[in-house]
Amino acid sequence: MAQKEHRTIKITLPGGQKVEAVAWNTTPYQLAKQISSTLADTAVAAQVNGETYDLERPLETDSDLRFLTFDSTEGKAVFWHSSTHVLGAAAEQLLGAVLCRGPSTECGFYHDFFLGKERTLRGSELPVLERICQELTAAAQPFRRLEVSQDQLRQLFKDNPFKLRLIEEKVTGPTATVYGCGMLVDLCRGPHLRHTGQIGGLKLLTNSSSVWRSPGAPETVQRVSGISFPTAKELKAWEEWREEAELRDHRRIGKEQELFFFHELSPGSCFFLPRGTRVYNALVTFIRAEYTRRGFSEVKTPTLFSTKLWKVSGHWEHYQEDMFALQPPGPQRDHPTSHPTDTLALKPMNCPAHCLMFAHRPRSWRELPLRLADFGVLHRAEASGSLGGLTRLRCFQQDDAHIFCAPDQLEAEIRGCLDFLRSVYAVLGFSFRLALSTRPSGFLGEPCLWDQAEQVLQRALEEFGEPWDLNPGDGAFYGPKIDVRLHDALGRPHQCGTIQLDFQLPLRFDLQYKGQAGALERPVLIHRAVLGSVERMLGVLAESCGGKWPLWLSPFQVVVIPVGPEQEAYAREAQQGLRAAGLVCDLDADSTLTLSRRVRRAQLANYNFQFVVGQREQSKKTVNIRTRDNRRLGERDLTEAVRRLLELQNSRVPDAEEIF
């Protein structure tokens, strides 16, 4: 009880004002009400000495206090995490569900729950589940935080094997917290809203199957995703925004423009049609040009490796469930008693192969930094429920590169990686936000080495000049990293690029080079990608531009339209000239449609330019040019028009139609 003595403590409010409070009695919500009723109504949680905190949880010691609203990233995370508890309570009430996990995401929340081995959630049940969620929010049920012992946890969740597994994996101390809300009690770190009534608008979006990984056989669970807001008005605005986003869905654009398709006979893989391949290759060509300019060497490595490689790299221990493994043909098929051959696995990443490439002969300090780039095909055993268009595939390629450098070259290489990111995203029309993710609890290696590496990354970020955030404890187990979130034309975030330091692979593969003094030294490894998955980036770009591709990426650069049959031969000549120059060009000589109908059809198909040729143009070897937005650029010499298009394509401008 001495620890909970009601003594006077000092609280520093936003803006620097200091006030007195009573330990174990005064709550952040009470202080918010003293500042303003508006703040008290809009705050969703507090930050107390940098820790996210329930508004109704009493303060314990002298504190620096900040308030989080829904407008902040941290505030949204709390709001949506509370919403998933509402969804869990509704699933228990309606379906008798066994709850698994329910996190917030960047764009809402989801809850996984188990209905039995034979039972799935039907789409027709989603509206009923949503109505119960809305009833629970209307009831303004308070969230209650309680600290319990491990024995109490196991007793609380004795009938839920999923929670028992989480307790075994996640609860390392003598106690943990649970949160109550109505009839629901759930294992959770929190924090949460004061009550469910703060959720003014909630909508359930999708239901699908997912896989719960466990030491035994994986279980199929049901996943329901949703979105919520403080007011019904904000939910309505989001629904209008979502309608616009659905019109831009890359799967819809891919089908309409005949870019790609999917087939049940190759689940999780994409078939790129000629037009889609044109966009794909333009992206890869762009990155290859940057590689040449920036001193990267492109390599090719095998797709299939013995699992011995993945055991050396550590991936077999940490990543085995996400890899495709197979037993090769061998003598054991005919002679079961013979010595078994190695199990093989399709590579899910390129880094171990690049380590083999570094180690295949002695290396000198003069070769460093060695920058190896690889567009090799990767395979990952994603659960069927998580597959979605181009955003998550089982078979894909990355603009994957690894930099082997000396420790004193590290900072310059990180600056080069950041500049690479900025240059590419500027051309693609994306803004972005960086975050430094530091040493996690289960890190490998020496703390002093981590500290030094984090300082190098921080200095590079500060010098880079772009805003960045700190994500303490969110680094990979093998090294700190810089996460990159780009934002598309609709403001949606996407995790694509990354820059990661790795201390472990050089150790695991015993990578060495001869230093200037003649002694063997250990290189530092940088993993980096800018586009990330080329397939995913193509999907992001399709949605961002709404299918109106910039000229340099466009599969619809030019269509030549003859006024009448008499000009068809000249139109074909113009088409051949454009194609010979390396441009994408089609011909619309459909004499059953009027000229204006064909021009309109080309504009609706998003051809960047229409070259109309009539009798005058045929006699003068010219073309009459219009854009997809119906700007009339007038008559131009055909040769000059081709030259200008090539100039605009090669400079990768976003607005070729405006500056032609």
Would you state the pLDDT for residue 1? 39
Q: Is 545 noted as a catalytic residue in this protein?
A: no
- Name the more confident of 15 and 371: 371
Distance, in Å, from the CA atom of 494 to the CA atom of 542, rounded to the nearest integer, reads 13
8-state DSSP, 61: S
- What sign for the dihedral angle of Cα 407, 411, 412, 415? positive
**Angstrom distances, CA of residue 410 to CA of 125, 403, 459, 601, 637:** 55, 9, 11, 53, 52
Tell me what the mean pLDDT of segment 482-495 comes to: 82
pLDDT of residue 220: 87
pLDDT at 215: 64
Per-residue confidence (pLDDT) for residue 51, from 0 to 100: 92
pLDDT at residue 274, as a whole number:
97
Catalytic residue among 81, 85, 111, 380: 380
Q: Which stretch of DSSP H or E encloses residue 245?
A: helix 232-247
Q: Give the chain's mean pLDDT.
A: 92
What pLDDT, in 10s, does the model give residues 171-221?
888 999 999 998 899 999 999 999 999 999 999 999 988 888 766 667 889
Q: Which class for 500: exposed (0-12), middle (13-18), buried (19 or more C-beta within 10 A)?
A: buried
**Structure confidence by residue, pLDDT tens digits, 597-631:** 999 999 999 999 999 999 999 999 999 999 999 99
pLDDT tens digits, residue range 518-536?
999 999 999 999 999 999 9
Share of the chain above pLDDT 90, in %: 76
Q: Determine the number of helices (DSSP H) and then strands (DSSP E) in the chain.
A: 21, 34
145 flagged as catalytic: no
| Cα–Cα distance measured from residue 625 to residue 635, given in angstroms and rounded to the nearest whole number | 6
**Residue 558 corresponds to which tokens in the numbers above?**
């030019």
For the question of residue 100 being annotated catalytic, the response is no
Asked if the model's pLDDT at residue 128 lies above 50, the reply is yes
pLDDT at residue 329, as a whole number: 75
Q: Which residue has the tokens 């810089």?
A: 482
Terminal Cα-to-Cα distance of the chain (whole angstroms)? 77
Other beta carbons within 10 angstroms of residue 504's beta carbon come to: 17
Q: Which residue has the higher pLDDT, 274 or 173?
A: 274
Give the model confidence (pLDDT) of 558-579 as tens digits: 999 999 999 999 999 999 999 9
**pLDDT at site 338:** 43
- CA nearest neighbour of 193 among 209, 179, 173: 179
Identify the active-site residue in 141, 222, 397, 398. 398
Q: What angle do CA 334, 335, 340 make, to 5 degrees?
A: 105
For residue 116, what pLDDT is reported? Answer: 87
652 versus 439: the higher-pLDDT residue is: 652
* 30/19 Cα distance (integer angstroms): 12
Is the predicted pLDDT of residue 337 greater than 80, yes or no? no
Confidence label for 14 from pLDDT (cuts 50, 70 and 90):
confident
- Could you identify the residue written with the tokens 């589940």? 129
> Could you tell me which residue, 509 or 485, shows the higher pLDDT?
509
- The residues with which 222 forms a beta bridge, in sequence order, are 113, 209
Percentage above 70 pLDDT, the chain: 97
Q: Which pLDDT does position 319 carry in this prediction? A: 81
Residues making up the chain, counted from first to last: 660
The reply to whether 85 belongs to the active site is no
Burial class (CB in 10 A: 0-12, 13-18, 19+), 216: exposed
133, 181, 270, 351: which one is catalytic? 351
List pLDDT tens digits, range 378-393.
Answer: 999 887 767 778 988 9
pLDDT at 422: 95
Q: Which residues contact 434 (CB under 8 A, 6 or more apart)?
A: 418, 461, 464, 466, 467, 468, 469, 482, 483, 484, 485
Say yes or no to pLDDT of 343 above 70.
Answer: yes
From 452, 493, 489, 447, select the one nearest 469 (Cα to Cα). 493
- Secondary structure of residue 624 in the 3-state scheme: strand
Catalytic residue chosen out of the listed positions 278, 527, 528, 536 = 527
- Whether the predicted pLDDT of 442 surpasses 80: no
* Phi/psi of residue 36, nearest 5 degrees: -170, 150
pTM score over 0.95: no
Instruction: Give me the pLDDT at residue 291, please.
Output: 97
487 is catalytic: no
- Residue range 392-439, pLDDT digits in tens: 899 999 999 999 999 999 999 999 999 999 999 999 999 898 999 998
- Strands, DSSP E only, in 315-467? 325-326, 344-346, 370-374, 377-379, 395-405, 431-437
Assess whether 527 carries a catalytic annotation.
Answer: yes
| In contact, 378 and 353? CB cutoff 8 Å | no
Nearest to 644, CA basis, from 660, 631, 623, 633: 660
Strands 201-212 and 184-187: unpaired
Residue-level pLDDT at 214: 67
Tokens of 292: 């040449």
- Among residues 616, 594, 531, the alpha carbon closest in space to that of 286 is found at 531
pLDDT digits over 73-100, tens only? 899 999 999 999 999 999 999 999 999 9
Looking only at Cα atoms, what is the longest distance across the chain? 99
Task: Answer yes or no: is pLDDT of 32 > 90.
Answer: yes
pLDDT of 225 over the 60 cut = yes
In the numeric block, which tokens belong to residue 636? 């131009």
Q: What number of CA atoms fall less than 13 Å from residue 167's CA on the CB side? A: 23
Query: What confidence score (pLDDT) does residue 633 get?
Result: 95
Q: Please, which residues have CB within 8 angstroms of residue 319's CB and are 6 or more apart in sequence?
A: 310, 348
- pLDDT of residue 331 exceeding 70: no
Contact 502, 370 (CB under 8 A): no
Separation between Cα atoms, residue 283 and residue 536, nearest integer Å: 12
Strands (E), 461-607: 468-471, 481-487, 493-502, 513-514, 520-521, 524-533, 558-562, 585-587
> Of residues 223, 402, 494, 626, which has the active-site annotation?
402
β-strands 558-562, 524-533 pairing: unpaired
Q: Which of 481, 485, 494, 626 is catalytic?
A: 481
The dihedral built from the CA positions of residue 122, 124, 126 and 132, taken in this order, carries a sign that is negative
- Confirm if 525 and 506 have CB atoms less than 8 A apart: yes
Give the model's pLDDT for residue 71.
94
| pLDDT in the model for residue 339 | 44
Q: What is the pLDDT of residue 314?
A: 86
Query: Long-range contacts made by residues 98-104, C-beta under 8 angstroms, separation at least 24?
Result: 98/159, 98/160, 98/161, 98/162, 99/160, 99/162, 99/163, 99/186, 100/162, 100/163, 100/212, 100/221, 101/162, 101/166, 102/186, 104/76, 104/77, 104/78, 104/79, 104/80
Marked catalytic residue, from 54, 186, 400, 483: 400
Which tens digits make up the pLDDT trace of 37-53? Answer: 999 999 999 999 989 99
Q: Tell me how far apart the alpha carbons of residues 64 and 73 are, in angstroms, rounded to a whole number.
A: 20
Q: How far is CA 631 from CA 90, 160, 424, 657, in A?
A: 55, 64, 29, 8
pLDDT of residue 209: 85
Say what the pLDDT of residue 330 is: 64
| Residue 263 known to be catalytic | no
